[in-house]
Chain A
């Protein structure tokens, strides 16, 4: 075959056939890469178990959706588009890159591919792709190097800035693109010079542009450019490949397995040790994650996968109020730990230190409200809550629990509620004057039974303000014609936060007691006004009747016509709905509460900037109310400001803890009289016909 230039496979460099270099680079490159990967995978084999091979089809689809489809990237529009361009270009070019590597070994290989129809189409496509990738890289370099979005900055306590690495990698990609273009362009230019039938180049692409410039050069120069660009490309390609597992760009490889093995059961917490039955927990020597090797292999894979994009921390409410927690650095600090303690050369460190006190602080780990904003945002489906819970389990097992949390935990152990109130007072909210005369709330159990159970949970049972929510719930359920009762003294705290604060055994006791009481009551379904109780009963408890949040019940009964509503009391008020984390993000209930509000004739409702799965946590529920975080501002205050910005005058929520935090925030923000908070069930109670 007649070619314009001598291809790399046929060339000589310093009188040595260039093919020798090509083979050498290929063998050395893949060899080093395999060695690095082996070293990186090693810690995963001594990690805790984590079965993730179920639901193969579902997992495969999720992998396509999140890794290949880049589903979550556009949530940050500019960065997302840049990433998608680079990613898509990469996907297209990876075939070309691989074929280029082989081009250096066999002359025939390249020709056989590019001369087919598919080859021509592909050739055009990859020229377009490389141009877009190069452009995206330039924009990204400018963005990271000059504009420096705040999201990427590294606070001094978390280590060194990562900008250099990011720009270095962008330069590597750019080099690949430029070399690719020059390699092609030099060949085309030479072909045109010789009047050969050359490959058609897509107008506007870098390759075409380069070919135009190169056209004036001598064929000797073109030959040099052709070979030099080839080998630079070849070297850069393998350097890049081996560089990937050295830092945040490992995600280029790990994002596929990481999304494939993603957590499928939202709202749950992983068991203490996978494969150990709840009854056998007592036999375990240690609980939770204390040392690095206590993490599961999937959690370690998460650390490798973090692309350092900072979206988690950008959404994290704890980070926003200045708590000493930034989810991004949970991953990065752990990855740094692996790199240091499982080095590429030499043996793994044997002196395994406790993570708490060395790479994490106690306050860092207690600062998390488990709101799930980070997990909802991560483009690569990295988990944080399970890790935080595992770290807390380790601390609880070692007795490292802040005094402010010990008191409610002891009270939960002794009394089944964090306030230490007597069990018999749990149903006192039904005895309020003016209420008890009209509504008799059944206490179900031995004597009485009902179709549904209203599970109030601790704060709603004992807190004066939240008891209003319970009484509204009673009136609304009554109006909807639901036959229901409460467990009264037999109800214990649902334990949602007990579990998420790492006190697994206490949670198990509460769960067992509640499960017994619920099953004994003989109800067919459970309704609750507390999303934390809802989440726990739905996702943590097993074999109990179906659980619904009251917003779901109300939405259904409005549709059925059982609940009819009057026109809005105050038509000048502007309502906004604040999604409770455990209703929205953890359980996907976004529409029912909004439908319910919108069903009130004449109501004005606006959305806050951060809503639905980007809702901003109010400050946390359950035991979080007792924790004294280090923070500059209260989450609730930020949330109230957001409502104000949206033009709202009434915040509707559907969670007693949101109520407590937002009510507090309204007062401390000096917005009393200007802003109000009301629970969804109270709002409906007020408007019911």
Chain B
């Protein structure tokens, strides 16, 4: 099975608060470190496991600048066979639809049976997979936490829905799936593994290579634009409730009701 996994390089924000820069145009990036989007890492692991079960190859693709290449190498160190970097000045500031369009052009250059994306990334939109599937007219399912390859025509997919339940689907190939965390346990990639892929060639495809007109991508092709960034009001620590136990409990019940804390 030929599998394409779409990955994204994102700032690792898990353990540190994020600040907005002075003019509010972006987050403060000076002290940030980057890594592959967590969901994408699960997607690559899943692709590798499927490949190891049924043969084929895994290609990772990403849209970004030269620095983005590092995450492609990381996922290749994990076990992906090939990597492709889609990079062009005109791709900058593409919205989700733009990114999906760029990847679609790359998909058209190859022949894939299955495309995996992470369920979401740093922007929390979770849109590229669904858009890409619609552009390709391939079936799509989001939030997959189980994939079983039935034969070379179809697969069985479990979608994680509310309440921890699993929606079981049968999907025709080729298709696009977005992968939810917890589908597997991604293997560890150490510095040694990454260094071993240092010499692997990663082709870079630009708008020209993909036959994309500059207007269809980047800022000009975007229907959605970011105006500014701001930090939502967090307040300085907790508001400590004062009074008798009875009064405090009373007040807390009100607050909880207002915030949907009492079902």
Contact = CB atoms under 8 A, between A and B. Distances in A.
Contacts of A400: 187-188
A661 B168 CA distance: 44
Interface stretch (B9-17, B50-58, B236-244, B247-255): B9-17
Most chain-A CB neighbours within 10 Å: which of B35, B78, B190? B190
Interface string A396-416: 111111010110011101110
Contacts of A397: 190, 192-193
Contact of A399 (B12, B15, B78, B196): B78
A504 B190 CA distance: 9
A419 B186 CA distance: 20
A403 B185 contact: yes
A491 interface: no
Contacts of A421: 15-16
B191 interface: yes
A54 interface: no
A413 B34 CA distance: 11
Nearest to B17: A422
A117 B79 CA distance: 77
B31 interface: yes
A506 B15 contact: no
Contact of A406 (B31, B79, B188): B188
Contacts of B193: 397, 399
A422 B31 contact: yes
A406 B188 CA distance: 6
Contacts of B186: 403, 406
Contact of B192 (A415, A420, A505): A505
B33 interface: yes
A401 B187 contact: yes
Nearest to B188: A401
A287 interface: yes
A406 B196 CA distance: 19
Contact of B33 (A415, A419, A506): A415
Nearest to A284: B192
Nearest to B196: A282
A392 to B, nearest CB: 11
Contacts of A398: 187
B189 interface: yes
Nearest to A417: B15
A425 B195 CA distance: 29
Contacts of A415: 33
Interface in A275-326: 281-282, 287
Contacts of B189: 399
Contact of A414 (B12, B190, B195): B12
**Interface of chain B, main secondary structure:** loop
A411 B14 CA distance: 10
Interface string B221-252: 00000000000000000000000000000000
**Interface of chain A, main secondary structure:** helix
Given A410-B35, A414-B33, A422 B195 contact: no
Contacts of B14: 420
Nearest to B191: A505
Nearest to A420: B15
A411 B15 CA distance: 9
Most chain-B CB neighbours within 10 Å: which of A400, A406, A506? A406
Given A400-B187, A422-B31, A287 B15 contact: no
A509 interface: yes
Contacts of A282: 192, 195-196
B17 to A, nearest CB: 9
Contacts of A401: 187-188
A396 B187 CA distance: 9
Given A399-B187, A406-B186, A411-B15, A423 B192 contact: no
A422 B187 contact: no
Interface string B177-201: 0000000011111111101100000
A396 B189 CA distance: 8
B73 to A, nearest CB: 14
Contacts of B192: 281-282, 287, 397, 504-505
Nearest to B187: A399
Nearest to A489: B31
B236 to A, nearest CB: 15
Contact of A396 (B15, B79, B188, B196): B188
A160 interface: no
B187 A413 contact: no
Contacts of B195: 282, 505
Contact of B190 (A411, A422, A423, A506): A506
Nearest to B15: A420
A187 to B, nearest CB: 70
A503 interface: yes
A154 B212 CA distance: 69
Nearest to A425: B16
Most chain-B CB neighbours within 10 Å: which of A281, A397, A410? A410
Nearest to A418: B15
A424 interface: yes
Contacts of B33: 414-415
Interface in B135-192: 185-192
Contacts of B79: 399
Nearest to B14: A420
Contact of A505 (B15, B78, B185, B190): B190
B50 to A, nearest CB: 16
Interface of A: 281-282, 287, 396-401, 403, 405-406, 409-411, 413-415, 419-425, 503-506, 509
Given A399-B78, A414-B35, A506-B190, 18 more contacts: A282-B196, A396-B188, A397-B192, A399-B187, A399-B193, A403-B186, A405-B188, A409-B188, A409-B190, A410-B35, A419-B15, A420-B12, A420-B14, A420-B16, A424-B31, A425-B16, A503-B191, A509-B191
30 contacts: A396-B188, A396-B190, A397-B190, A397-B192, A399-B79, A399-B188, A399-B189, A400-B187, A401-B187, A403-B185, A406-B186, A406-B188, A409-B188, A409-B190, A410-B12, A410-B35, A411-B15, A414-B12, A415-B33, A419-B15, A420-B16, A421-B15, A421-B16, A422-B31, A423-B31, A424-B31, A503-B190, A504-B192, A505-B192, A505-B195
Q: Which 3 A-B pairs have the closest CB atoms?
A: A399-B187, A420-B15, A401-B188
Interface of B: 12, 14-16, 31, 33, 35, 78-79, 185-193, 195-196
